Structure 1
Amino acid sequence: MQVFRVYNHKSKGYQAVPVGFSVSAFLASFLWAAANSLWGKAFVLFFGFLMMIGGAIAGAMLNMPLVMLSSLAGISLLPLWAGVQGQQWICDRFERQGYSLVKRISAESATHAINAAKRSVKKPEASHSKEPVNKPAATFGRDFRDVRDNAAPNSNQPPPQDFNARPWKRR
């Protein structure tokens, strides 16, 4: 089973992104980035490949083996960088487009992850009974449940660890 990050947008619906190494980004780096509308990353990868190939050719023509070997190492590291960071780039793009992370789920496929995330989201139940609805009494100031549950909008409590999508990035 694979771990997926499931995102939801109010109008565009659900999207699931697998967590981990992206083989397709490793094999087709800048083409994969362009196909996924990651234009800045595609430009950096394409320009990096051109510079590294130019450095390897210049190192071979000028009989400078260190320049040639370092350029060949750069050519091999660019796809590795794309493979390691590819899924995170997609997650960042979704967050910039207004998607919100719903859940991290282990599932067999993206559709199974989306279906599991839809089932886990609680829907408000419509009560058809004739019982009066008890409205909460007016409260002034901060409710202690907000502090305990970290639900207050200006709370200084850190988010729960399982919900943190990017633990290695500083904000």
Structure 2
Amino acid sequence: MGYGLAVLGLLLVLSGAPAPAQTRAQTQESNDAAEQELRLPPIGSPAAEAMARYAIEREKKEYRENIERAQEVARLSAELQKAFEQRHGLFPDDLRKLERIEKLARRIRSEAGGSDGDDEGSDLPKSLEQAVRRLANVAKDLSERVEKTPRQVISASVIEKSNELIELVRLIRRLS
């Protein structure tokens, strides 16, 4: 019988239920203490100001990183177009660039407030050459739009261009 009580006590402890000896007031005190730890500092306090400055700096850093992603997409797309014009085809290193472009475009779209469900069918080129050329143009346009868009703005045009870029990457993979 002592074994059964021990198991019951262990189950109560593991289930998180308060032990019978613990009063409602003690439980409320522990909940209040936990909430106290999670509370933000009062507005205007040095701690609140430091937290706000940190949040602003983090947002600025993320914005700069997004601009760098867009610039990398434009650079890689231009390199891909140049390589295609010289070799009249795509090689394994070009396909790796395509993967990188798609990954960066997805990240840019996400940072702009878009998601995977935002893909819209667009008028896609019929040939590989046209697709590669359009990829470079869309990437350049995307880079310019990201740079012009303020960091606090959700940009439908950036999301749209990112989606178009992703569709073009998929098309180029199919055509190559």
Q: TM-score, normalised by structure 1?
A: 0.27
* Structure with larger RCO (C-alpha < 8 A, sep 6+): 1
**TM value normalised by structure 2:** 0.27
Larger Rg: 2
Structure in which a larger fraction of residues adopt strand: 1
